[in-house]
Amino acid sequence: MREDVDVVVIGGGFAGITAARDLQKRGLNVLVLEARDRLGGRTWSTDRNGFHVELGGTWIHWTQPFVWAEKERYGLEIQETPGCVAERVAIKVDGQVCELRDDQLGEFVAGFEQFFAEAPLVWERPYDSHYNWAAIKERDSLSVADRLQSMELTPLQRTSIGGFLEILSMNQPENASYLEMMRCWSLTGWNYALFNDAAARYKLKLGTGALVEAIASDGGFDVLLDTPVRSVHQTANGVTVTTAAGEQVTAKRAVVTLPLNVLHNVAFDPPLQSVKVEASKLKHVGGGAKVFFEVEGDPGAVMTLARSTESPLIGSFTYQRGEQHSVLAGFSLEPDALERSVADWQPVLEEFVPGLRLLSTFGHDWGGDALSQGSWCTYRPGTFVRFADALPRQEGHLFFASGDHGEGWRGFIEGAIASGSRTAVAVWRSLLPSRTA
Ligand SMILES: Cc1cc2nc3c(=O)[nH]c(=O)nc-3n(C[C@H](O)[C@H](O)[C@H](O)COP(=O)(O)OP(=O)(O)OC[C@H]3O[C@@H](n4cnc5c(N)ncnc54)[C@H](O)[C@@H]3O)c2cc1C
């Protein structure tokens, strides 16, 4: 096969399909090459005993303008996640599980406000890191652990902030950038309730697959599934992309949406800027596992929280409720979290929710998945200043779009759609002179 198109898009996650739709709608001929047998990338769902379960990216929020606009545009409904607005919150503080009491709520929220006290200054404009670049640079090397160590916090505050941010970054506090966490807090208006809701309250009722389908069918671009890209060669007039099967696609432009952690697995000629390769080999810190727990009966709307030093379960909450059985979504930083048996997890869960009977556990190993090599993106401490502008930078006929880079909600579905959308405009503009010539 040798196909000639205006734009070839490498990767069919939200960044790729958004860019493809927007470019095709501008009259260009677009082909998406996707290695998997489906579109959607790090969003993917399954049906489990009558429940629709998102194994990857799930929650969206109206503080996320691009994804919310897509939801509205295609008329998709949302569904609440019961455990995000829990009736019962069980926290493990200093080795002891206790229930968060109403009279502790003030202390709980005050901890976050204190931790993020300088966020309104540093991230006055969370979509524009250059607005206060000096403050960003000054704090680039700081980890969440550094910030925690510098503060006077109560044990409850230390656990709740530590546990929450371990989930948000999917790594230990030593490895997560304080700047990145501050950015999320700022994107939700420096407000705990919004911060919590944006993390895990609203999901698409028919699943992320419904949004993928809406964008793909509206876009009308061509797609080749099961088509991993092996190499990308730039010529004077465009690009030649070669697939693992040896097929070639030529195009005027390429939009590269490969996840950061696997970008270096594709051969580029000429080579990519060294900073991109360095960032890809270093990898973002989003690891861990989202583990689902199918339990007997209805546990109610519960939430659990702990530090990874205290429990293999850093957090969990009721995801779907049913009379016969329910599902909890949990998060773990343990490397073997998805291999652990029901017998292994039963006492862990029961410590937080006494009497809970676990029926099964399941999830997808995004870290072991050769096409993602990680979960969602959080930068390492000390890398923001070097990587933030460099990763989306155009190189000749190559444009880069990904949820793993860009301003605003990096690491989220929102970031992927925003990046795909912005990149489509840049690609289209770059083609204007040659199209009118
Ligand atoms: C467990 C988990 C939970 C998450 N939870 C949330 C959440 O609740 N809310 C939220 O907003 N975000 C969440 N995220 C993050 C969100 O899913 C991602 O940020 C977003 O989907 C990334 O989109 P993308 O298009 O940039 O990358 P991807 O979705 O990874 O798309 C890139 C595509 O490139 C393909 N590819 C890779 N290599 C090749 C190759 N050589 N040739 C061709 N194709 C290739 C991949 O198969 C993939 O389809 C979560 C992610 C995970 C893993």
pLDDT one-digit tens code per residue, 257-275:
999 999 999 999 999 999 9
User: Which residue has 């997808």 as its token pair?
Assistant: 364
In terms of C-beta density within 10 A (0-12 exposed, 13-18 middle, 19 or more buried), how is residue 323 classed?
exposed
Dihedral sign from CA coordinates of 20, 376, 318, 186? negative
User: Which residue has 């029961």 as its token pair?
Assistant: 350
**pLDDT > 70? residue 333:** yes
Distance in Å, CA 137 to ligand 1 centroid: 28
Task: Say if ligand 1 is within 6 A of residue 366 CB.
Answer: yes
Domains of the chain: 2-42+207-284+371-436 (3.50.50.60), 104-196 (3.90.660.10)
User: Quick check: 268 and 239 in contact, CB under 8 A?
Assistant: no
% of the chain with per-residue pLDDT over 90: 97
Distance, CA of 67 to CA of 105 (rounded, Å): 31
Q: Which ligand 1 atom is the nearest neighbour of the CA of 409?
A: 11
Report pLDDT digits (tens) over 292-320: 999 999 999 999 999 999 999 999 999 99
Task: Say if ligand 1 is within 6 A of residue 258 CB.
Answer: yes
User: Quick check: 395 and 274 in contact, CB under 8 A?
Assistant: no
Whether residue 299 is preceded by a cis peptide bond, meaning omega within 30 degrees of 0, is no
Report pLDDT digits (tens) over 372-424: 999 999 999 999 999 999 999 999 999 999 999 988 999 999 999 999 999 99
Task: Say if ligand 1 is within 6 A of residue 34 CB.
Answer: yes
Closest C-alpha residue for ligand 1 atom 36: 11
Q: Does the predicted TM-score (pTM) go above 0.95?
A: yes
Q: Dmax of the chain from CA atoms?
A: 72
Distance, CA of 251 to CA of 213 (rounded, Å): 25
Task: Say if ligand 1 is within 6 A of residue 58 CB.
Answer: yes
Local confidence band at 434 (pLDDT 50, 70, 90 cut-offs) = low
For the chain, count helices (H), then strands (E): 14, 20
**pLDDT > 60? residue 437:** no
Helix ranges restricted to H, 206-313? 208-219, 274-282
Dihedral sign from CA coordinates of 366, 371, 373, 379? negative
Q: Note the pLDDT of residue 1.
A: 61
Closest C-alpha residue for ligand 1 atom 13: 57
Report pLDDT digits (tens) over 274-294: 999 999 999 999 999 999 999
88 CB contacts (<8 Å, ≥6 apart)? 99, 300, 301, 302, 303
Report pLDDT digits (tens) over 1-35: 678 999 999 999 999 999 999 999 999 999 999 99
Q: Note the pLDDT of residue 327.
A: 97
Distance in Å, CA 145 to ligand 1 centroid: 27
User: Quick check: 353 and 304 in contact, CB under 8 A?
Assistant: yes
| Mean pLDDT to the nearest integer, 147-157 | 97
Name the phi and psi angles at 80, rounded to 5.
-80, 150
**pLDDT > 80? residue 330:** yes
- Of 229, 376, 379, 404, the one to substitute when testing ligand 1's pocket (max ligand atoms within 8 A of C-beta) is 376
Distance in Å, CA 45 to ligand 1 centroid: 13
